[in-house]
Each structure stands twice: as structure tokens, then as C-alpha cells.
Structure 1
């Protein structure tokens, strides 16, 4: 059988929802075939998502996208090949509307299923989990903004506090310590876990009293109720499994697990059955385990069906 080939233009039209019926059908057949080029799909999707101006051609959009960054050679080659992790110095206002065009601004972004380690100029180290964004100014490397999940080993500096702020206005402040912060946009919680040292959790929006933490404690902010809860970590929680390349959860609802799976595999998980969504599971998987295999194992304890909707690019759980 002759290979099913898709041009960048056809894929661009499909992703930007400007394709006609025959092109849509052709792309969807390609996506469900053995000829599917996931790297190409990711690349064109990334370009489209970051160049949302009215009706650009694929070549115009690529030019705008690649002109917005000043690349590091090795990272640039990797991005071109896989549309993977972007480590960029902002050179204009195109790339992220929420980030200043200041040339000293640094944005580190991971795509789904990838982790990245960064060493800051003050000697602090950061591990960034999948589908996460870290930003900071080179002149103030101890003041960071995190969307997603990161683990921080903070270099001691008694004169300059180290702060991490999340999209929901939670700030974690430390001097010299190691801690994990998790705050995905579509997640129901923002969570801080402290392994060593001491940290202070504050918010300029949601609560007045500072929450001070000691090792093996976690602070959970529930976005819907605005409740802040400090509790002792279980033994497994202090492992920070994602740093070791694991997807690990214990007694978590399927809806909570879906946030982590989306970060790893890049596809939304939608539930048509609330009973399944609220069911709790425990498991540990290598991050390279296919998502369908994870679903099959979870089905052992709670029966459900799943399917991939290629039109909306999301998993449906029934």
C-alpha cells in the first residue's frame, strides 16, 4: 500500500480549522495510520499555538515563530527536530503575551512527557516536569514564576530570599532548602512539598496568614474552595517520583491522575461518567509506558472504556 503523505500546508489547515472536508478526512486517516508523523504534528501545532494572528500561511507563521527567539544551538536543533523543550531569551512580544519583552527575561518550557534540569546563576538548581513553564529575569534569578511542576534545590543566600510564584498567586519563599511546587493551570490544587530546610507559603489574593513549613510537610491550596491545608507527607510523597522518570499516584481520583497524564502525553482526558472520574487508584509507571497500557492496568480495579477522539485530540473515558 502506498504511504499516506501529508504536507505541512494540509496539516496547518487542519490544525487552524481552515481545511475543507476532504483535507480533514485525509489528515484524520493519516493520524490513525502507521504513517503518522507525531513529531511533525507537534511542530506545526506548536507553531500555530504561538502565532495566533489572523489567517497566516504556514510559511509566514513559521517565520514569525522562529523569529521570536534567540536560540542556543543545541536546543535549537532539538526544537526543530522534535518541537520539544524551548530554552529561549525573549526578543519581542510575540512568544508569550504574559512575559515582558525585556531581553533579560528567560523562559524555560517543557513539552509533554519531558523533564529538564536548569542551574541558575546563583547556584540554585531546578528540575522542571512535563508541560511546565519557568520564567525569571537574569538580574533577579531568585524570583521565579512557575506554571506546571518544578523541584527546587535552593543555594543559601541569607540576603536574598528565593521565591516561586504560581498562576493562582501562591508564593513559596525560601532561603536555602529543597522543595517541590505543583500548579498546573487545569489542576484543582496548588501543592508545595518540603524536603529540607524551611519555607513560607503566602498569597496576596487568597489568604492573609503565612503558612510556615518544616521538612516532610506539604501545603495544599484548593482552587475551588480557596482552602489551605497543611499536612504530613506520606513516605512515598517525599520521593518526588517524576524526577526519577515515574508516573506515580496513591489513592488519587482518576480526575486528579488525568492532569498528570495530560502533562506526560499531551492529550486532554474527558470523562463522560462522573463515577469513573471520582474513582481512586494507586499505581506507579515508567514515564515511557504508553497511556493505553496505563488505562488497561487501571481497568483491572475499576471497569471503564476509553477511546481517542482524533478530531478533538482527546481521550474519552466512559
Structure 2
């Protein structure tokens, strides 16, 4: 029994009478160990046995349902466990009657674990609160998909684009953000994640708390971040680079609709502007891509104002062609 681990498969077999006496005794000891264990076993019973009856709109014989469940119980189970589970079964049977009255035919398991998806369009920003209380801010063209399983305390989130999190603390329920081959595991913290697919990198900046990041299927090669640190994950090579940052708060200036460029390349700046404005900015001279600029702007300033301010450096000129912007190098004096 040393290798006997209790999980949803084992609990399902227990409820179906498929375990031997020693295994059933181990489940009963586990059941008695905590209220959360008792709750989980009740939830599994609810899904496995009550869900089968939801789509049956005929009259439900509650007493028969309880007798059928009682017969399934292993003969060696304790009286107290049987009494507690029967109480759960009675509550579940009442729920069946309510659900079978034509209000819904959606399976309980799917209904209770359906992911919550939030997304933003080009130029939009959004803020939301996830079902567990975690606060999220989505940058332009980003999405968050949240799911919490009944069979695990793990809270799972998949993202695209850029998202800032303030995770609701729960030491028993890890919060895991997944994006483009990288998992970021936290208990309670503030951090920003940006997935740049075109650049094959995921950038994580930690503002508060602690997180652990690891490439998918490489959890043994994790990297732990501390506040004011930045992790860049190369999605091609699966390598990670951890550095200190002077101001982690700058990573979330976008929440307030601010562009804060600090010695960024022109190519990086153009990429950021393209996320907000319905224009196509083209470099007519490839050398311009690596020029660097600094400056603070607001989204409402507009693309042409920002370009005009950058142009004051006398490093380039630009022309407007329809909805496009063409960037030219200044002729040499």
C-alpha cells in the first residue's frame, strides 16, 4: 500500500465498489482526515451518479436512488462514513429533482468547470475579476481563459498577449498561468506577463510576492523570481534569462494608457504603437529599426502626435500614405 495514492480515479472506484478491503480502508482514513476531503468525495459522487440522471425528465424516485447508492457502498465501510455520504446523496438527489424539471440539460461537470474567457480587441484595455477573486488587467489584443477543476485545487489560466495579475492569495490553491510553452506558478502576488509570439519570447516582471516559472515538461528546471526581477523565456530554445529591473512598476504603465519608452529601439516602439492604432508603419530604411528613443506618451495623444514628437530628434522623417505611415531616414547633411 506504500504506492497507493488517493486521487479522483481511486475515489471513483471506491464509490463504485471497485476497491479491495485494504484500499477501501485507506480511502476511509483519508475521508476522515479533513473536511475538504469529505467535500471532494461528495462532489465526485454528485458528478458521477447525479449527473447521469439530469437529462431524465421522468419522475425521479428519490428513495430508490438512495437505496441504489447504499448498495454500491463497500461492505467494510464505517457507519459514520456511510451516514455522511448518504446525507450528501440526499442533498444531491434533491438537486436532481430541481435540475430535471426542464431548467437545464447541461452536464453538471461541464457546467461547474466551464472556463471563463475574457479578451480585448485592437486598441482596447480591460479589467476584470476572476471567479476566485484574482484581479486581471488585459492589454490590447489579449485574452485570458480561467478554469478551476473540481478534482484539484489548482487554478489554471491561459493567456495570449499581455496581462497583469493581482492573484487572490490561497496557499492551498496554486495559481498557474500558462502561455506559449511557459508555466508561472504563484500563491499570491502581483506580476505582469507578456507573450510576444512574433519575437518568440515571454516576458514576466514580478512586482510583489514570489513566482516560479518553468517550461512545459521541464518543471525540474524552474526559475524563481523575486520582486523587481524580469524573466525572459525564449520559446524556441526554451532558455530563460533572469535580470533585475530598476522599476518593475514601469511594466504596467499600459494599464493607465501610457507608453513609457526608455532607450527602446524604433522597431520595439513601432510594434507597441501597432497594438493600439489601426495603421501600418513601414520602415523604408532597415537601419532605422535599431535607432533608440526615450519618451512618455499617452494613448489618447494619437499616433501622429507621437510620431511628430519622435521626429523632433531629427533622426527620421515620416509620410502618411492613406492609413499607412512610411518612415524614411533623414538625408545626410
Task: Sort the TM-score into its range (normalised by shorter chain).
Answer: 0.5 to 0.7
CA distance in 1, matches of 2:248, 2:187: 26
Q: For 1:155-174, what aligned pairs fall within 5 Å after superposition?
A: 155-166=168-179, 168-174=180-186
Query: Which residue number corresponds to residue 126 of structure 1?
Result: 136
Unaligned runs of 5+ in 2: 1-109, 329-333
Whole-angstrom distance in 2 between the partners of 1:205 and 1:309: 48
Deviation at 1:316, TM superposition (A): 3.2
Q: Which of these residues, 156, 164, 172, is aligned with residue 151 of structure 1? A: 164
1:229 and 2:241 correspond = yes
Check whether the contact 2:148–2:155 (CA below 8 A) recurs between aligned residues.
no
Structure 1 contact 186–259 (Cα < 8 Å) conserved = no
Specify which structure has the higher proportion of helix. 2
- Measured in 1, the distance between the counterparts of 2:287 and 2:212 equals 37
Distance 1:155 1:306, change over 3 A: same
TM-score (norm 1): 0.61
Q: Secondary structure at the match of 2:170?
A: coil
1:104 to 114, 119, 124: 114
SS of structure 2 residue aligned to 1:288: helix
Looking at structure 2, the residues matched to 210 and 266 of structure 1 have their Cα atoms a distance apart, in angstroms, of 39
Alignment counterpart, residue 254 of structure 2, candidates 242, 246, 253: 242
**Distance change in 2, residues 1:209/1:268 (3 Å):** farther
Q: Which residue of 2 aligns with 1:283?
A: 295
TM-score of the aligned structures, taking structure 2 as reference length: 0.58
Structure 1 gap segments, 5+ residues each: 1-99
Give the one of 241, 253, 263 matched to 1:251. Answer: 263
What is the CA distance between 1:223 and its match in structure 2?
Answer: 4.5
Cα displacement string for residues 170-224 of structure 1 (whole angstroms, at most 9, x for unaligned residues): 1111010010001133345311000111001111278962110011111012456
Matched, 1:264 2:276: yes
**Structure 2 CA distance for aligned equivalents of residues 280 and 286 of structure 1:** 19
Query: What is residue 135 of structure 1 aligned with on the other side?
Result: 145
Larger CA Rg, structure 1 vs 2: 2
- Computed over aligned residues only, the root mean square deviation of the Cα atoms, in angstroms, reads 2.9
Are the counterparts in 1 of residues 181 and 235 from structure 2 also a CA contact under 8 Å?
A: no
SS state of the match for residue 316, structure 2?
coil
For 1:183, which of 166, 171, 195 is the aligned residue? 195
Aligned length: 217
State how far apart, in whole Å, the 2-side matches of 1:119 and 1:162 are: 14
The CA distance in 1 between the partners of 2:202 and 2:327, in whole Å, is 25
